[in-house]
């Protein structure tokens, strides 16, 4: 089977870094056309540097990294350094990158890549706020026909994580999320209701650390941080959820996931509900579904596959 051509739009971020490592390891199944960065978990300069650090760690200097939007469409950036650390990859112990980003802007790269593609050829993998994608399709709306589907981490069917209503990626740029969900592109959504099932417990992290590779040590270092206040009460077990690797895992191992086609929209005006993803789980609105909302994951299988993928990297020096 031919490798799936993908563009990864990301804001690394710890879980983004794990997603990138898995995608770059699976080169026979995923053709990474490029990595585009956006401000989100940390400011753009750091998300771009972190993407370059991961590309170097993976030994994939052939993959271009393209810096994109430095702020949401209509709002100031509120990052997540409390979770990811000041540099975004707390605990990884990685040096500053020696590679540099490509000169082309991320939005221009997305447009140019889709223009050169056959209809329905490219899968978009969105791990952060959807600002770059909203900008790209605002400039070139006809390119939606070049997209096979958009697989994203964002939103939630249930409670949020930055407000009672909203998940971080959608809340950071709700206008972009609303625009992208209305484009007519087939969407696969991995929200908090799904990713909270994928907790990197100490036992799962220990199996990653036991690989004793440079990549595994970096991942284990990021995931072995002390729990934040209230974390165990929220997740039910010690450990951090690995949100973003769900996007890559869905492409590689779809049998681990299940969900339902729903109509989804994003709130852009509510005072207390800004960024909320309204998931019409029961079809009460009578609107045509626009999103496959994934709601179940085989977590043990997920971590076993991620660990095996990370194990393909070379031994630690």
Distances (CA, A) of 103 to 41, 100, 298: 23, 9, 40
Alpha-carbon torsion angle 167, 30, 141, 275, nearest 10: 0
| Residues pairing with 13 in the sheet | none
115: Cα within 13 Å, side-chain hemisphere? 11
Question: In the annotation, is 84 catalytic?
Answer: no
Q: Is residue 249 a contact partner of residue 302, using CB atoms and an 8 Å limit?
A: yes
Report the largest interatomic distance among the alpha carbons of the chain, rounded to a whole angstrom.
58
Distances (CA, A) of 195 to 11, 86, 117, 189: 17, 23, 31, 11
**Active-site residue set:** 243
């Amino acid at each position: 089977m031919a490798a799936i051509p993908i563009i990864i739009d990301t804001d690394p971020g710890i879980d983004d870094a794990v997603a990138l490592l898995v995608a770059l390891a699976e080169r026979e199944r995923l053709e990474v056309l490029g990595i585009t960065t956006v401000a989100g978990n940390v400011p753009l300069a750091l998300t771009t540097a972190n993407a370059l650090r991961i590309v170097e760690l993976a030994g994939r200097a052939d993959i271009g990294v393209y810096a994109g939007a430095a702020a949401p469409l209509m709002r100031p950036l509120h990052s997540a350094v409390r979770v990811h650390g000041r540099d975004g990859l707390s605990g990884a112990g990685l040096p500053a990158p020696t590679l540099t980003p490509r000169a082309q802007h991320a939005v221009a790269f997305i447009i140019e890549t889709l223009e050169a593609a056959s209809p329905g050829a490219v899968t978009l993998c969105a791990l952060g706020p959807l600002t770059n994608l909203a900008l790209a399709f605002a400039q070139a709306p006809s390119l939606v026909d070049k997209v096979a589907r958009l697989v994203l981490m964002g939103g939630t069917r249930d409670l949020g994580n930055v407000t009672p209503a909203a998940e971080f990626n959608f809340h950071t740029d709700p206008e972009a999320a609303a625009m992208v969900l209305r484009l007519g592109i087939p969407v696969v959504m991995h929200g908090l209701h799904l990713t909270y099932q994928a907790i990197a417990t100490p036992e799962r992290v220990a199996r990653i650390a036991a690989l004793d590779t440079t990549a595994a040590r970096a991942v284990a270092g990021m995931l072995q941080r002390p729990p934040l206040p209230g974390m165990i009460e929220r997740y039910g077990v010690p450990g951090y959820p690995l949100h973003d690797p769900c996007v890559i895992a869905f492409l590689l191992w779809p049998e681990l996931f299940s969900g339902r086609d729903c109509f989804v929209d994003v709130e852009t005006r509510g005072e207390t509900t800004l960024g909320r993803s309204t998931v019409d789980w029961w079809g009460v609105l009578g609107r045509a579904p626009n999103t496959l909302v994934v709601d179940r994951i085989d977590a043990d299988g997920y971590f076993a596959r991620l660990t095996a993928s990370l194990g393909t990297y070379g031994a630690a020096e």
